[in-house]
């Protein structure tokens, strides 16, 4: 595991954007696994600027999302589809057949999970971006999720719903479930980049670096992957 320590959120965003920019430049038909949440917003802004001021084409890459809320319409401003449209799909000029995200409103969610996992297997993810929950979740794989889990429906912990309530009008409106790539789905990516900023993430980063692997800290599953880069700012790295 390679650990890159940077000063602050801005540096984390820039360093990560440059890493992804170089990958896209090297291989324009790359398959990116992407994350949502507060952490990657700055990275997407910087990467969009880098792409716009270059001749690198986004016309043949594909983007696969980690997760989506269950039972939230795609056009709801808080769906992860809306997030991706705002921060990635539109700014990069992606076409529909380049963008893949679980459908959290599918009538049969179990079938949707199987469809998404098969899609991931068929395409393969070259590089997966991850944020981390304060409780060590990756994607929406909450503590206790088996390491061999594939794409599935996850019941969100109350701490996760509380953390995400800042995006919603009230806590009650935060969905209770999500469709998420499982831990084994995430580990299938050829390369993984995890980013974290702020003291709320320090304990999770500490468990990743210093604990033994345990399903109580889903983030520790990354220890078994051969190509992981962790880009952390000073406060998130405070305990390592």
Q: Which residues are catalytically annotated?
A: 67, 135, 137, 142
CB contact at 8 A, 120 and 65: no
Cβ nearer to ligand PGA, comparing 58 with 222: 222
Reading phi first (left if > 0) and then psi (alpha if -120 to 50, else beta), residue 133 is in beta
* Tokens (6 digits) for 150: 């594939």
Interface residue list for ligand PGA (CB under 6 A): 37-39, 131-133
HSE-CB for 116 with a 13 A CA cutoff: 30
Cβ nearer to ligand PGA, comparing 58 with 125: 125
Q: In angstroms, give the least distance from the CB of 194 to ligand PGA.
A: 10
CB contact at 8 A, 171 and 162: yes
Q: In angstroms, give the least distance from the CB of 38 to ligand PGA.
A: 3
- CA proximity to 132, closest of 194, 76, 48, 64: 194
- Across the strands, what pairs with 180? 67, 152
Q: What whole-number distance in Å separates Cα of residue 101 and Cα of residue 78?
A: 14
Cβ nearer to ligand PGA, comparing 133 with 182: 133
Q: In angstroms, give the least distance from the CB of 32 to ligand PGA.
A: 17
Q: In angstroms, give the least distance from the CB of 131 to ligand PGA.
A: 3
Q: What whole-number distance in Å separates Cα of residue 32 and Cα of residue 70?
A: 22
What count of other Cβ atoms lies within 10 Å of the Cβ of residue 2? Answer: 9
Cβ nearer to ligand PGA, comparing 58 with 102: 102
User: Strands 127-130, 191-196: parallel, antiparallel or unpaired by DSSP?
Assistant: parallel
Residue facing ligand PGA at closest CB distance: 37
């Amino acid at each position: 595991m390679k650990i890159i320590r940077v000063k602050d959120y801005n540096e984390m965003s820039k360093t990560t954007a440059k890493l992804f920019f170089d990958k896209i430049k090297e291989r324009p038909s790359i398959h990116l696994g992407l994350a949502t949440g507060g952490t990657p917003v700055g990275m997407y802004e910087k990467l969009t600027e880098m792409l716009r001021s270059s001749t690198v084409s986004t016309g043949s890459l594909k983007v696969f999302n980690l997760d989506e809320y269950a039972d939230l319409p795609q056009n709801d401003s808080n769906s992860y589809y809306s997030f991706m449209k705002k921060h990635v799909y539109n700014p990069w000029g992606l076409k529909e057949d380049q963008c893949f995200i679980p459908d959290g409103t599918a009538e049969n969610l179990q079938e949707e999970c199987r469809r998404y996992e098969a899609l991931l297997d068929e395409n393969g993810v070259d590089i997966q971006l991850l944020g981390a929950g304060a409780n060590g979740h990756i994607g929406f794989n909450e503590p206790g999720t088996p390491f061999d889990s594939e794409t599935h429906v996850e019941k969100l912990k109350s701490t996760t719903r509380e953390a995400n309530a800042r995006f919603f009008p009230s806590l009650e409106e935060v969905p209770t479930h999500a469709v998420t790539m499982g831990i084994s789905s995430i580990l299938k990516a050829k390369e993984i980049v995890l980013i974290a900023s702020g003291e709320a993430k320090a304990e999770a980063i500490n468990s990743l670096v210093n604990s033994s692997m345990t399903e109580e800290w889903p983030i520790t599953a990354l220890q078994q992957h051969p190509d992981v880069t962790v880009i952390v700012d000073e406060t998130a790295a405070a305990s390592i």
